Amino acid sequence: MTLRLGYGTNGLTDLRLDDALALLADLGYDGVGLTLDHMHLDPMAPDLAARTRRTAARLGELGLGVTVETGARYVLDPRRKHGPSLLDPDPEARAARTALLVRAVDVAADLGAHAVHCFSGVLPPGTDPDTGWQRLTGALAPVLEAAARAGVPLAVEPEPGHLVARLDDFHRLRARCGRPDPLGLTLDIGHCQCLETESPADCVRAAAPWLRHVQIEDMRRGVHEHLPFGDGEIDFPPVLDALDALGAAGYLGLTVVELPRHSHAGPELARTSLDFLNKHRPPRATAEGSPS
């Protein structure tokens, strides 16, 4: 298996979901990172199962793989960005986020998705880290049980500013949860450039055993801003070479372009992003072993 590229619907929010999927298939993407949100397979609206079946059929018609992403900003609370989180002081609020993630696992199973992506959330003011870790592991337990039943991995993303911010934090989470099989990793290449001490390519290689989902964009050191390719500081050929080798390490998922603040130019950026990645990725080998 070689690198399989997708594009995130959180960067195509001005398009209807069917139009976004058709665009990505026409451009030549292998799949889609589908963010469950009010404009794209709303997880809170009626008839979710029927709408999911229609989306699954459409994905099949277009030949697109899919990972379910859960980073919608206001899907649970119209007044709090990404709220409530898995770290919320209110147990009922944490339970609402847990229920959304369990619902996302069910949707992912019905779509035949590679994984369900999520993140920890920001530690609330006045909350000590140990309390935050206790809340996080408790809130994730039902999600991991659902993931185990459904056979769909849960892929936690280290996110700058969150309790789980770096790869080391992901391993701490795995240990605190008892290293369950369904708990995997979403690696965001831009976040590696932003925060990690290792290069993005080295992060890919170090994370390979736990990888279930990959997000990719450009970024600058120390600045958490998702940028179109070429606007940041990442040296992409070594990263794409490391990603292209993931298949040999067992990675079956997608590498999804994530530009959530660029929907105003989504269709054009989807085209130029794919052109950039194909231009900078290593040549694929033929069956005889020579470059194709």
**Structure-block tokens of residue 226:** 């998702």
**Structure-block tokens of residue 98:** 């847990």
**Integer CA distances (angstroms), 33 to 94, 137, 166, 172, 176, in order:** 24, 25, 21, 26, 28
Per-residue model confidence (pLDDT) at position 288: 39
Per-residue model confidence (pLDDT) at position 286: 34
Backbone Cα Rg of the chain: 18
Alpha-carbon 292 to chain mean position: 30
Torsion of CA 242, 247, 251, 254, to 10 degrees: 80
Per-residue model confidence (pLDDT) at position 284: 62
Per-residue model confidence (pLDDT) at position 281: 86
> Please, what is the Cα angle at 265 between 243 and 54, to 5 degrees?
75
- CA–CA dist 88, 174 (Å, integer): 20
- CA–CA dist 286, 50 (Å, integer): 42
Alpha-carbon 27 to chain mean position: 21
Per-residue model confidence (pLDDT) at position 285: 39
pLDDT tens per residue, range 196-254 = 999 999 999 999 999 999 999 999 999 999 999 999 999 999 999 999 998 877 888 99
- CA–CA dist 102, 134 (Å, integer): 19
pTM exceeds 0.85 for this model: yes
Pure H helices in the chain: 17-27, 48-62, 91-111, 129-150, 167-176, 189-195, 200-207, 236-244, 266-280
Per-residue model confidence (pLDDT) at position 1: 55
3-state secondary structure of 209: helix
For residues 154 and 118, the answer to whether their CB atoms sit within 8 Å is yes
**Which parts of the chain sit beneath pLDDT 50?**
285-292
